[in-house]
Structure 1
Amino acid sequence: MSAFFISDSVPTGSDIPWNQDKQRLLMQGEILVETRSHTAWGGAVTAWMYVPLVRSHVWQQITDYPRWVQYFPDVTKSEVLQRGEVKRLYQAAQKAFFFFTAQVEIYLNVVEELGQQIQFKLEKGNFHDFTAKLELKDCDNGTLLGYTVQATPTIPIPSIFIQQAMNFELPANMRKMRQVLCKGQ
Structure 2
Amino acid sequence: MPALSAWTQYQQTALLRGEIILNAQSHTAWGGACTASMYLPMARLLVWQQVTNYPRWVHYFPDIVESRVLPEAEGLTSGYKRLYQTARKAFLMLAVEVEIYLKAIEVVQQQIQFRMEKGSFVDFSADLKLEDFENGTLLSYSVAATPLIPVPGLLIQQAMHFDLPTNMRKMRQVLCDRA
TM-score range, shorter chain: over 0.9
- Provide the C-alpha distance between the structure 1 equivalents of 2:80 and 2:120, rounded to a whole number of angstroms: 21
Normalized against structure 1, the TM-score is what? 0.91
* Residue identity matched to 2:132: D
Which stretches in structure 2 are left out of the alignment for 5+ residues? 73-77
Structure 1 contact 36–163 (Cα < 8 Å) conserved:
no
Aligned to 2:39: 50
Match of residue 74, structure 1, among 52, 63, 70? 63
- Provide the C-alpha distance between the structure 1 equivalents of 2:15 and 2:156, rounded to a whole number of angstroms: 25
Aligned to 2:115: 121
* Residue identity matched to 2:165: P
1:131 aligned onto 2:125? yes
Q: 1:184 to 1:86 in 2, by over 3 A?
A: closer
Task: Indicate the SS of the match to 2:70.
Answer: strand
- Matched-pair identity in %: 58
- Provide the C-alpha distance between the structure 2 equivalents of 1:86 and 1:57, rounded to a whole number of angstroms: 21
Report the CA distance between 1:184 and its aligned residue: 4.2
Structure 1's consecutive aligned runs of 4 or more residues displaced over 2 angstroms after TM superposition are none
Aligned to 2:75: none
Match of residue 150, structure 1, among 127, 144, 165? 144
Which stretches in structure 1 are left out of the alignment for 5+ residues? 1-9
Task: Indicate the SS of the match to 2:143.
Answer: strand
- Provide the C-alpha distance between the structure 1 equivalents of 2:133 and 2:54, rounded to a whole number of angstroms: 24
Match of residue 135, structure 2, among 132, 141, 145? 141
Report the CA distance between 1:99 and its aligned residue: 1.5
* Residue identity matched to 2:90: A
Task: Indicate the SS of the match to 2:123.
Answer: strand
Report the CA distance between 1:35 and its aligned residue: 1.3
- Provide the C-alpha distance between the structure 1 equivalents of 2:103 and 2:143, rounded to a whole number of angstroms: 14
1:112 aligned onto 2:95? no
How many residues are treated as equivalent by the alignment?
A: 173
TM alignment of 1:164-179, pairs within 5 A: 164-179=158-173
Query: Which range is displaced more, 80-89 or 104-113?
Result: 80-89
Structure 1 contact 37–163 (Cα < 8 Å) conserved:
no
Task: Indicate the SS of the match to 2:90.
Answer: strand
Aligned to 1:6: none
Report the CA distance between 1:37 and its aligned residue: 2.5
Aligned to 2:15: 26
Structure 1 contact 42–159 (Cα < 8 Å) conserved:
yes
